[in-house]
C-alpha cells in the first residue's frame, strides 16, 4: 500500500474540520479550553526562568502525549487567541518538524497571547507567579519563537528556504540537536530521553548516522550534562567514516545530503564544527595518519592551537620543537589562553623535561581578559582532570614563586585539591581572612592558604 505523506493527511483533516462554521469538540479542544484560564506564562524563556510548580504543571499538561497532533492543528484556527497559543505550545512539545508550516502561518498573528516573565535579578515568590513582572506577547511572537529555534539551529535566514529543503525529509541533524538541547534544558532530564534519541539515530543511513553521532556527541554545552555518546563510541563512528572524511572535516567540508551539515558561517554551526574538529585533533593518534603532520602544520591552520598539538601527537620525535614553535607564534595580547593549552600538551608529550619551561610560563602568565577565567585557571582546570599531571602541580606548589602566587590561582588549587583528597583543609575563617579589606590581614590569610596547600602534597602524591 502506498504511503500517504503526513502533510496531506493533515491538510485533509483541516479541510474537513473547517467545512462547517465551528471547530469540532475534540478531546484536545476540551483539554485546552480547561487549561486556558490556568496558564500564566507561555514562552520558552519562562520554562528556563525561575522554577515554579504552578507554571510547570500547566506546561506538563500541554506536553501530554495523548494530545493528538491533527486535533491540535485544528485548534490553530480557533477564534480564541489563547487557544491558538496553547495549540502552538503543545505542538512544539511534539518535537515534530512536519507541523512547522502550520505554526509558521501564525507568525503574523498580532492577537494578544499569554505574557512572558520579565527578566529580573530579584527573588520572586515561586508560589505566586501571577504577580511576577511580565511582558506582553502576541500569538505571532510565540509562533516565531517556535519556528525560529529550527531556523537558528540549521542556519537559515527565512522559513521559505528552510521548508523547501526540509519538508520532504524524514530526519535532519538540527531536529536531533534541538531535542538533545531540550533534554539538557529540562528541569528533570531523564536518561530514557537520551536512549530514545540514540535508537532513532541508530536507524539512520550511513554516513548521516555517523555524522549525527559525532555532531551530537561533541555539541558544546557549558553545563554538566548527560552526554549521548561515550568517547569510545565517538572514535568508533569517526573511524567508520574513514581517514578521508576526517581530513575533509578539518578542512571544513562534510559530505552529506543533510542540508543542516552544509558549510555555513553562523555561530551555532561554527561553534559546533570547531568542537567536532577539536575532538578529531585531540584524537589524532587514533583518527589520523603520521603522514598528516604536514597537513596539520599548514599556515591556514596557524590560528588554531589544536592543530600543532595534533601534529606533535603524530610526530613524537619532533613534538617538543613543534609545540615550542607554536608557543612562540601565539604571542598576542590574549594568547596566554592558547599557551595554557600548549603547556599542558608539552607536559603530556614531554613530561618532566618541560617542567621548568611550563612553570616559567605559569608564573609569568597574564591575567587574561577581565571577567573571563584567567589562563592559569584554564591550565589548572585541565591539570585537575589528568592523574598524570599531579607531579607537575606538586612542582608548581614547591616552586619558590608560589609564595607570591595571586589569589585566583590559589583558590583554584584549593578546590582542585579538595576534589582530589575529598578533604576540606582550609577553614572558613581563613577564607574570610583572605577577603578582608586590610592588606596585612589579607596577606596573613594568603600565607596560611599557601602553607596548607603545600602540606597536602603527600595526601594526593604519595612518595615513590
Q: Residue 36, Cβ neighbours under 10 Å: how many?
A: 15
Q: What is the CA radius of gyration of the chain?
A: 28
Confidence of residue 434 (pLDDT cuts 50, 70, 90): low
- Supply 384's cell numbers: 585537575
Q: Is 61 helix (H, G, I), strand (E, B) or coil?
A: helix
Instruction: Verify that 389 and 444 share a domain, yes or no.
Output: yes
Q: Is 87 helix (H, G, I), strand (E, B) or coil?
A: helix
Instruction: Verify that 348 and 429 share a domain, yes or no.
Output: yes
pLDDT digits (tens, 9 = 90+) for 204-214: 999 999 999 99
Provide the CB-side half-sphere exposure for 426 (13 A, CA). 27
Confidence of residue 408 (pLDDT cuts 50, 70, 90): confident
Q: Among the three residues 329, 354, 385, which one is the final residue of a domain in this structure?
A: 329
pLDDT value of position 88: 97
Q: Is residue 458 part of a domain?
A: yes
pLDDT value of position 18: 40
Instruction: Verify that 372 and 304 share a domain, yes or no.
Output: no
Confidence of residue 61 (pLDDT cuts 50, 70, 90): very high
Q: Is residue 1 part of a domain?
A: no
Phi first, then psi, for residue 132 (nearest 5°) are -70, 150
Instruction: Verify that 17 and 136 share a domain, yes or no.
Output: yes
The whole domain housing 463 covers 339-464
Q: Is residue 123 part of a domain?
A: yes
DSSP assigned state of 3: P
pLDDT value of position 407: 84
pLDDT value of position 4: 46
Residue 305 has pLDDT above 90, yes or no: yes
Instruction: Verify that 356 and 443 share a domain, yes or no.
Output: yes
Q: Is residue 321 part of a domain?
A: yes
Q: Is 289 helix (H, G, I), strand (E, B) or coil?
A: coil
Q: Is residue 109 part of a domain?
A: yes
Alpha-carbon span 33 to 30, nearest angstrom:
5
Q: Are 238 and 246 in contact (CB under 8 A)?
A: yes
Q: Residue 208, Cβ neighbours under 10 Å: how many?
A: 18
pLDDT value of position 8: 43
Q: Is 78 helix (H, G, I), strand (E, B) or coil?
A: coil
Query: To which H or E segment does residue 316 belong?
Result: none
Q: Which residue intervals of 220-292 are DSSP H helices?
A: 231-241, 243-250, 267-282, 284-287
Total number of domains in the chain: 4
Q: Is residue 334 part of a domain?
A: no
pTM of the model: 0.86
Strand segments (E) across 330-421:
none
Confidence of residue 334 (pLDDT cuts 50, 70, 90): confident
Confidence of residue 17 (pLDDT cuts 50, 70, 90): very low
Whether the CA torsion 407, 411, 416, 421 is positive or negative: it is positive
pLDDT value of position 376: 94
Instruction: Verify that 431 and 311 share a domain, yes or no.
Output: no
Instruction: Verify that 205 and 343 share a domain, yes or no.
Output: no
Residue 1 has pLDDT above 90, yes or no: no
pLDDT value of position 15: 39
Alpha-carbon span 243 to 385, nearest angstrom:
29
Instruction: Verify that 232 and 103 share a domain, yes or no.
Output: no
Alpha-carbon span 43 to 47, nearest angstrom:
7
Instruction: Verify that 350 and 460 share a domain, yes or no.
Output: yes
Q: Are 326 and 300 in contact (CB under 8 A)?
A: no
Instruction: Verify that 230 and 215 share a domain, yes or no.
Output: yes
Instruction: Verify that 230 and 262 share a domain, yes or no.
Output: yes
Phi first, then psi, for residue 240 (nearest 5°) are -65, -35
Q: Is residue 231 part of a domain?
A: yes
Q: Which of 158-162, 189-193, 229-233, 442-446 has the lowest mean pLDDT?
A: 189-193
Phi first, then psi, for residue 211 (nearest 5°) are -65, -40
Q: Is residue 410 part of a domain?
A: yes
Confidence of residue 393 (pLDDT cuts 50, 70, 90): very high
Provide the CB-side half-sphere exposure for 101 (13 A, CA). 14
pLDDT value of position 335: 92
Alpha-carbon span 59 to 39, nearest angstrom:
8
- What average pLDDT does range 153-164 have in this prediction? 96
Instruction: Verify that 324 and 422 share a domain, yes or no.
Output: no
pLDDT digits (tens, 9 = 90+) for 62-115: 999 999 999 999 999 999 999 999 999 999 999 999 999 999 999 999 999 999
Q: Among the three residues 109, 131, 166, which one is the final residue of a domain in this structure?
A: 166
Alpha-carbon span 422 to 431, nearest angstrom:
18
Amino acid at each position: 500500500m502506498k504511503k500517504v505523506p503526513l502533510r496531506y493527511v493533515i491538510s485533509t483533516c483541516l479541510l474537513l474540520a473547517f467545512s462547517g462554521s465551528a471547530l469540532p469538540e475534540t478531546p484536545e479542544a476540551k483539554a485546552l479550553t480547561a487549561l486556558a484560564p490556568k496558564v500564566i506564562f507561555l514562552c520558552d524563556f519562562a520554562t528556563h526562568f525561575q522554577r515554579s510548580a504552578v507554571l510547570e504543571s500547566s506546561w506538563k499538561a500541554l506536553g501530554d502525549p495523548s494530545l493528538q497532533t491533527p486535533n491540535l492543528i485544528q485548534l490553530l484556527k480557533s477564534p480564541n487567541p489563547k487557544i491558538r497559543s496553547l495549540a502552538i505550545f503543545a505542538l512544539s512539545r511534539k518535537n515534530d518538524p512536519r507541523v512547522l508550516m502550520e505554526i509558521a502561518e501564525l507568525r503574523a498573528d498580532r492577537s494578544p497571547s499569554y505574557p512572558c516573565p520579565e527578566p529580573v535579578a530579584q527573588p520572586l515568590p515561586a508560589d505566586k507567579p501571577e504577580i511576577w513582572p511580565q511582558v506582553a506577547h502576541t500569538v505571532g511572537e510565540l509562533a516565531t519563537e517556535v519556528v525560529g529555534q529550527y531556523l537558528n539551529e540549521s542556519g537559515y535566514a527565512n522559513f521559505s528556504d528552510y521548508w523547501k529543503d526540509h519538508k520532504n525529509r524524514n530526519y535532519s541533524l538540527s531536529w536531533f540537536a534541538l531535542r538533545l538541547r531540550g533534554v539538557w534544558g529540562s528541569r528533570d532530564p531523564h536518561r530514557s530521553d537520551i536512549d530514545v534519541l540514540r535508537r532513532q539515530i541508530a536507524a539512520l543511513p550511513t554516513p548521516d548516522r555517523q555524522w549525527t553521532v559525532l555532531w551530537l556527541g561533541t555539541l558544546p554545552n557549558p553545563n554538566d550534562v548527560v552526554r549521548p555518546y561515550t568517547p569510545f563510541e565517538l572514535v568508533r563512528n569517526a573511524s567508520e567514516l574513514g581517514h578521508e572524511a576526517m581530513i575533509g572535516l578539518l578542512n571544513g567540508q562534510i559530505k552529506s545530503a543533510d542540508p543542516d551539515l552544509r558549510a555555513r558561517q553562523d555561530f551555532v554551526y561554527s561553534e559546533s564544527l570547531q568542537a567536532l574538529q577539536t575532538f578529531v585533533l585531540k584524537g589524532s593518534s587514533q583518527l589520523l595518519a603520521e603522514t598528516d603532520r604536514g597537513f596539520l602544520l599548514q599556515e591556514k591552520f596557524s590560528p588554531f592551537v589544536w592543530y600543532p598539538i595534533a601534529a606533535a601527537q603524530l610526530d613524537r620525535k619532533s613534538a617538543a620543537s613543534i609545540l615550542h614553535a607554536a608557543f612562540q607564534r601565539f604571542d598576542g595580547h590574549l594568547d596566554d589562553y592558547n599557551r595554557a593549552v600548549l603547556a599542558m600538551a608539552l607536559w603530556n608529550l614531554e613530561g618532566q623535561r618541560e617542567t621548568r619551561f611550563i612553570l616559567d610560563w605559569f608564573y609569568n602568565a597574564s591575567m587574561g581578559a577581565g571577567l573571563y577565567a584567567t589562563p592559569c585557571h584554564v591550565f589548572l582546570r585541565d591539570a585537575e582532570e589528568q592523574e598524570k599531571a599531579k607531579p607537575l602541580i606538586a612542582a608548581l606548589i614547591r616552586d619558590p614563586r608560589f609564595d607570591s602566587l595571586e589569589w585566583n590561582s590559589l583558590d583554584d588549587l584549593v578546590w582542585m585539591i579538595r576534589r582530589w583528597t575529598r578533604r576540606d583543609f582550609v577553614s572558613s575563617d581563613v577564607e574570610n581572612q583572605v577577603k578582608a579589606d586590610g592588606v596585612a590581614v589579607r596577606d596573613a590569610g594568603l600565607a596560611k592558604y599557601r602553607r596548607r596547600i603545600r602540606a597536602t602534597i603527600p595526601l594526593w602524591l604519595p612518595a615513590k
